Chain A
Amino acid sequence: MARFAVRRFMSMLALLFATSVVVFGIFEIIPSYNPARAIAGRNANKTTVQEVSRKFGFDKPFYAQYANTMKLIFTGQIVDYQDQLNVVDQFKQKFPATLSLVIPAGIIWLIAAIVLGSVGALKAGKFADRALMVMAIVGVSIPVFLLAAVLLYLLAYKTSVFPNTGYVSLTSSPAQWAYHLILPWFSIALLSIGFYSRVLRGNILDMINQDFVRTARAKGLSQRDVFSRHVLRNSLMPIITLFGLDFATLLGGATLVTETVFNIPGIGQYEAAAIGNLDVPPILVGAMFTAFFVVIFGAFCDLFYALLDPRIRLSG
């Protein structure tokens, strides 16, 4: 077990290293891109650009620049090119807004999927089940930003049920916080609910034939107890694992477009702005941040599986 965990940890470090090199390298290969000019400003003369270039070390070879940037990131001193703000501070400052977006969205999505997936399995082949299938396939065909636009149009502009954009922090007013975030939460959650409930439905239908379910029924448990304590509990495991991975990638995908559409001052909006400005440090930190979460969640899932299934432990 320990060896398995160590191996996973090593490959995780390797992956993080490769991630940072790739993202850093992408911007090195652009021929026309000169960060020194971006920092010095449009009207800077040649000597100023050279000075900036020296100050930031852009004249050094690739590996030296890379090493220096990594040092700055890990000592928390990295600044963006655009405004010379500390990127790590920016991330810390913007993280609460992003968490306010993704955590409740994740909860809505998981609970709705569990309820609908159970209904789908119990009514397999009936109308509710088919409606769920349609919802799943439509869900994988709509981009998040489009659903966000539709919800925004219908519920904020046309009927003004919800505020059109903006963000209020949880600490200043919990009611306003939720009121402003309901549309973003549902934009993220709605598309996944169909898919997740479909997966859960499949798991439940598989589980219902297992011997332990028959045993539970044979010892006289009520249908409800058999379902909630045995079938559902065991069917949830794969869903939770999937959810772990999806939740991690949320930070680097859905938040970018959702925060942009709804004007939420979180990490995603910061990243999207940095992309527009070709501001390498925030993009680099953001990509590493996301990759870190993806790898960590992936490693946890593997460990979780390995704990449950000795076959993986031995072959791992």
Chain B
Amino acid sequence: MALDVPRFRRGNGQSSSTEDPPAQTTQDPSFALPESGGTLARPEPVTGAPQRPEPEEPSTVGIGPYRLALRRLRRNKTAIFFAGLFVLIVVVCLLAPVYSKDIAKIAPNSTNVTGTVNGHNVVSTSGVPIGPQFGAHYFFGADEEGRDLAVRLLYGGRTSLLIGGVATVIILLFGTLVGLLAGYFRGIIDAILRPIMELIWSFPPVILGVAVGTALALGGIGPIKGNSVFIPALIIGVIYIPYLGKPIRGETLRLREMDFVDAARVQGMSPRRIMFSEILPNTMSTIIVFAPIMLANAILLEAYLSFLGAGVQPPNASWGTLISDGINYLDTTPTFALIPGAMLVLTVLSINVFGDGVRDALDPRAQVKIQT
């Protein structure tokens, strides 16, 4: 699907019996895997680091799995670098109002079609916006209505990140909840939740998001107005719930049959307590691995929806709408589309690389394979 939509690989978690048999340690020297006492080689993460022998842990006795994972993650310099880059992007975007007020001295939505900068028209007489000036005003040039692209880039980044973040929170909360409920209670609850998840899952996210997004952009939903940025956030969140809900359901189905859950039940624990204090902690590594992937995919899907006019509505900007506007000026002012595009890719890439490092560090049983 690399083709179209940010989405998880189908086939994972869909039917547990289709999973590949565990990989065996290779004997062929040209495919040598690190051998650690003849154990089975772990399944190779799709975008994981190439196999190379890891230095022996000094001593792992008495250290919890999460602290061990953190220790491994800290050694992964690439992951740490990209995490830093992501934090930098977030901070810069949060400073958008400061840049707008104190440096560029222009509001993100104020148009300036007839103005001039450095002796040139901001928007030429034929309607072409000016390119980068690399000064306080119009650092990255203007858009077709003479708005400052650098200011809109930062505000747009704020919007994109906010939508991604809100959607990720929705996915993590409800995906986990739906998975736990369906997996633990089975029966009628599962019979209701599972087909709904299957239905959402069977739609390509872009088609579903675009249809719902267009509809809600017109009418709004409840107290939320149609042009609110929370509408795309909500839509993206709901679309991706099954992508976490299904694997959590599968894990819950497996965990509920285990002895420690029986023990809890015999002790007289309530189902709620069993779900949240016995089963939930055991699915935590899956949830942690999913979080960055969901964030990256949510930001990407927002860009797709905004590009097609079904996401962020004008006059608000997001990276998706900026690319969409800029693509009309590709021959005259290519920076208009390519600078927001570069920001988008840099952000999503840094989340993905960091997420990959987290997955390597945790190496949970659940194999997560994503693709866009």
A interface list, Cβ under 8 A from B: 14-15, 18-19, 22-23, 26-27, 29-33, 105, 109, 121-122, 124-125, 129-130, 133, 136-146, 149-150, 152-153, 157-158, 164, 188, 191-196, 198-199, 201-203, 205-206, 208-209, 214, 238, 241-242, 245-246, 249-250, 252-257, 260-261, 272, 275-276, 278, 283, 286-287, 290-291, 294-295, 298, 301-302, 305, 309, 311-312, 315
Contacts and interface: CB of A to CB of B under 8 A. Distances in A.
Given A146-B323, A242-B11, A278-B218, A253 B211 contact: no
8 contacts: A140-B352, A143-B372, A145-B323, A196-B2, A208-B31, A209-B27, A278-B218, A286-B207
Contacts, number: 245
Interface string B354-372: 0010000000000001111
How extensive is the interface on chain B, given as a class? 35 or more
B20 A249 contact: no
A205 B31 contact: yes
A256 B17 CA distance: 34
Given A137-B356, A291-B202, A250 B11 contact: no
B2 A195 contact: yes
A124 B28 CA distance: 12
Contact of A290 (B3, B10, B17, B204): B204
Interface in B303-335: 303-304, 307-310, 323, 327, 330-331, 334
B207 A246 contact: no
Contacts of A29: 215, 219
Contacts of B3: 105, 109, 144, 188, 191-192, 246, 249-250, 253-254
Nearest to B4: A253
B77 to A, nearest CB: 15
B202 A294 contact: yes
Interface stretch (B45-53, B102-110, B138-146, B179-187): B45-53
Nearest to B323: A146
A19 B345 contact: no
Contacts of A254: 3-5
A287 B349 contact: no
Given A153-B338, A209-B26, A275-B308, A146 B344 contact: yes
A283 B21 CA distance: 41
A253 B47 CA distance: 23
B307 A257 contact: yes
Interface string B194-222: 01001100111111101110111011000
Given A133-B47, A140-B372, A209-B26, A18 B199 contact: yes
Contacts of A295: 202
A125 B50 contact: yes
B23 interface: yes
Contacts of A141: 296, 300, 345, 348-349, 352, 372
A252 B26 contact: no
B30 interface: yes
Contacts of A255: 4
Contacts of B331: 153, 157, 164
Contact of B23 (A146, A209, A272): A209
Given A125-B50, A275-B309, A309-B17, A209 B25 contact: yes
Contacts of B35: none
B177 interface: no
Interface string B336-358: 01100100110011001100100
Nearest to B20: A206
Contact of B28 (A105, A208, A287): A208
B50 A133 contact: yes
Given A137-B353, A157-B331, A33 B211 contact: no
Given A141-B372, A145-B323, A209-B23, A253 B10 contact: no
Given A149-B327, A150-B341, A195-B371, A125 B51 contact: yes
Given A141-B348, A145-B307, A250-B3, A129 B50 contact: yes
Contacts of A105: 3
Interface centre among B1, B25, B31, B348, by most A CB within 10 Å? B1
A143 B303 contact: yes
Contact of A150 (B20, B202, B338): B338
A315 B17 contact: yes
Contacts of B2: 109, 139-140, 191-196, 246
Given A26-B212, A309-B18, A145 B327 contact: yes
Contact of A275 (B17, B199, B205, B210): B210
Contacts of B46: 136, 195, 198-199, 202
A253 B30 contact: no
Given A191-B3, A205-B23, A209-B26, 9 more contacts: A125-B52, A137-B47, A141-B300, A150-B341, A195-B371, A209-B25, A278-B218, A287-B203, A287-B208
A27 B215 contact: yes
A294 B345 contact: no
B307 to A, nearest CB: 5
Nearest to A126: B50
B47 A136 contact: yes
B262 interface: no
B4 A146 contact: no
Contact of B307 (A22, A143, A238): A143
Contacts of B307: 143, 145, 257
Contacts of A242: 9-11
Contacts of A209: 23-28, 31
B206 A252 contact: yes
Nearest to A251: B204
B200 to A, nearest CB: 9
Nearest to A135: B47
B44 A205 contact: yes
